[in-house]
Structure formats: C-alpha cells, structure tokens
A and B are shown apart, each in its own frame.
Chain A
C-alpha cells in the first residue's frame, strides 16, 4: 500500500518570503513523487516530479522540491513567494508496479499575503 501525508492544512507566508509545503510518503518500493497545484474551480496542474537522480527537482513557476529518502519526504519549496502562488497544493506518489495510479495527499492551502 502507498500513502501520502501533508501535515499542514494551511500555510501562510508573506510575499517575498520563502515558502515550504510539506509532504511525507509511505511506499513499499521506489517512489515516483509529484506535486500538483489546484486553483479554484479548476483541475490540478502538474508542477514537478521526482523519478530518479538529483534529489533537488526544479519545476514550474520557480518551485522546487527536495527528495529525502531517509526521511521519506518530498517538501515543496520556493525562495520568494508571490501572491499569485496562493492555491491548493497536492503531493502524490506512484509506484512502478501500479501502472501509474497515483495516491494523493489531502492538500495544503497556501496563502501568500502582500
């Protein structure tokens, strides 16, 4: 079985400050990890993924995420937050044995204040 935990329902940061959205996972095998963003009344949009290789992954809109195998984490980060980054963020995991079925976390609402 695979699972994803996003321990924070809400993250609030001031514009210009760094942001972190946390994600931990549990799988039996090598995970493939993803971050998606959802704006109101829209479907999810892909931000970045970790498959293999460098633990630091760079994605869309200046976001990056760091894969930490020992802590089973894949936290999403951005050095300088924008108000337009305010949205709902989902972490997801899939396995090479499950043909692409992804398990999603419950989401974290990011609010960036001016």
Chain B
C-alpha cells in the first residue's frame, strides 16, 4: 500500500507563473488536507476536501489559490500568478475521514518562486 504521493518534490517558478501541486491519497482515503509550512513556522491549514467537494477552505488565501479533488485522479492545489511570498513547503495529508483518525502526510512539495 503506497503512502501519500506528492509531486513534484521541488518546483521552481518565476513570478507571475502558475504552480500546480499534486497529491495522490493512500488507498481507501477520501479526505485530503493541504497545509503550508513557511520557514521557521509550523503547519498552517489551507483547505480540506472530500471527493469532488471542498469542505473547509478557511485557510486559503482569497485570491490566486484554488484546490480540487476530482472523482478520478489526484487532488490539485493550484496557485496562479505566484509571488515570492508563496515560496514554502506544501504538504498534503490524507485520512479515511473523521477527527479520530490520524493524518498520513506526503513528503511535500517545495515551491520556490524566483
């Protein structure tokens, strides 16, 4: 049973470009959470999705950021018109669902904006 797969591991973009980060959950996991980790800071919640639905996006910036988890395929975190402040590690975590379940994390995508 493969773990949570994130790709790419490293992504370099110039200011104004788009960044697409992918997350494939573990088998049997239908709940996906995206977190952002800035240097010297902890994990900040961004968005929580179940299949085809956004459940909670209270941590997402109002502009330029979007997320989806389609019926088929991985969850995608999309950042349009990236700026230097978007440089961070983005982690995806998945679970079978519910507050009692531990989260399984991917290895993250390190986004660097030049």
A residues neighboring B (CB under 8 Å)? 6, 32, 34, 36, 41-46, 49, 51, 90, 94-96, 98-107
Top 4 closest pairs, chain A to chain B, by CB = A43-B105, A106-B42, A104-B43, A46-B102
A49 to B99, CA, bound (A): 11
Q: Is the CB of B91 within 8 A of A100?
A: no
Which residue from B91, B98, B99 sits with its C-beta under 8 Å from A44?
A: B91
List residues of chain B with CB within 8 A of the CB of A101: 33, 45, 48, 56
Chain A nearest CB, measured from B39 CB (Å): 12
Q: A101-B45, A101-B48 are in contact. Are A32 and B103 (CB under 8 A)?
A: no
Residue B108 is within 8 A (CB to CB) of chain A in the complex: yes
Instruction: Tell me whether A100 and B108 are in contact in the complex, defined as CB-CB below 8 angstroms, given that A43-B4, A44-B91, A107-B42 are known contacts.
Output: no
Q: Are B41 and A106 in contact (CB under 8 A)?
A: yes
Q: Is the CB of A102 within 8 A of B45?
A: yes
A-B pairs with CB below 8 Å: how many? 73
Residue on A nearest B4 in the bound complex, by CB: A43
Counting contact residues on chain B (CB < 8 A from A), the size range is 20 to 34
Contacts of B69 in A (CB 8 A): none
Q: Which B residue's beta carbon lies closest to that of A104? A: B43
Q: Which residues of B contact A49 (CB under 8 A)?
A: 100, 102
Q: With A and B bound together, what is the CA distance between A21 and B4 in angstroms?
A: 27
Which of B55-105 touch A at CB < 8 Å? Answer: 55-56, 91, 93, 95, 97-105
Interface centre among B41, B91, B105 (most CB of A within 10 A): B105
Pairs A–B under 8 Å by Cβ, sample size 17: A32-B100, A34-B103, A36-B105, A46-B102, A46-B103, A49-B102, A99-B98, A100-B33, A100-B48, A100-B95, A100-B101, A101-B45, A102-B45, A104-B43, A104-B45, A106-B41, A107-B43
